[in-house]
Amino acid sequence: MQVNIIYVGNIKDKFLADAVAEYEKRLSAYCKVQNTELKESRVPENASDAEIAAAIAEEGKRILAALPKKSYKIALAVEGKELSSPDFAKQIEKAKDASGGQITFVIGGAFGMAEEVKSACDYRLSVSKMTFTHRMMRFILLEQIYRAFNILGGGKYHK
């Protein structure tokens, strides 16, 4: 099983980087994790709507170029479907079966994700109605992927 995570921007905080590393280590018992970090577009401090839209479009082009062809692609998007952890595990199992064992998660940048990227994905997932930074989302996603594999494997991590 191959899990790809395409994300915009790097993690600057050591505590988040440590958390990401911990869950990648835990996931190694279930799958191979492939990370693709893409450059975050720079925008001025008080960016106009047009400057933000241009940044999202620029990041979107980089994401589209990085998407693997033969993979079930899941965009993390606020308008996506919210799932419980057990339902997320079922979605991962379904995605694995549909793709021959390769799933790609896409995390956009600070201003969101281009509609073209969301349209190129097979599924839109919302982790919460709350807002998290895109840097935090990588850790949250990895924890939920680990939880899903643990649920599917009959483990005791999910209580």
Spatial distance between the Cα atoms of 66 and 127, rounded to a whole number of angstroms: 22
Could you tell me which residue, 149 or 10, shows the higher pLDDT? Answer: 149
Closest of 71, 77, 75 to residue 63, by C-alpha = 75
Spatial distance between the Cα atoms of 136 and 145, rounded to a whole number of angstroms: 14
How much is the pTM?
A: 0.95
* The two structure tokens encoding residue 77: 């998007």
Closest of 4, 2, 34, 6 to residue 106, by C-alpha = 6
Asked whether the predicted pLDDT for residue 69 surpasses 80, the reply is yes
**Boundaries of every domain in the chain:** 2-152
Class of the CATH-defined domain 2-152: alpha beta
DSSP 80: E
Spatial distance between the Cα atoms of 63 and 145, rounded to a whole number of angstroms: 21
For 102-123, the pLDDT digits (tens) are 999 999 999 999 999 999 999 9
pLDDT at 135: 85
pLDDT at 158: 85
Mean pLDDT of the chain: 95
User: What are the angstrom distances between the C-alpha of 102 and each of 43, 91, 97?
Assistant: 34, 13, 9
For 32-46, the pLDDT digits (tens) are 999 999 999 999 999
User: What are the angstrom distances between the C-alpha of 18 and each of 2, 21, 68?
Assistant: 22, 5, 27
- 3-state SS, residue 44: coil
pLDDT at 134: 84
Kindly compute the dihedral angle of the four CA atoms of residues 102, 86, 15, 8, in this order, to the nearest 10 degrees.
40
* The two structure tokens encoding residue 8: 């915009």
Q: Are 121 and 4 in contact (CB under 8 A)?
A: no
Spatial distance between the Cα atoms of 109 and 130, rounded to a whole number of angstroms: 16
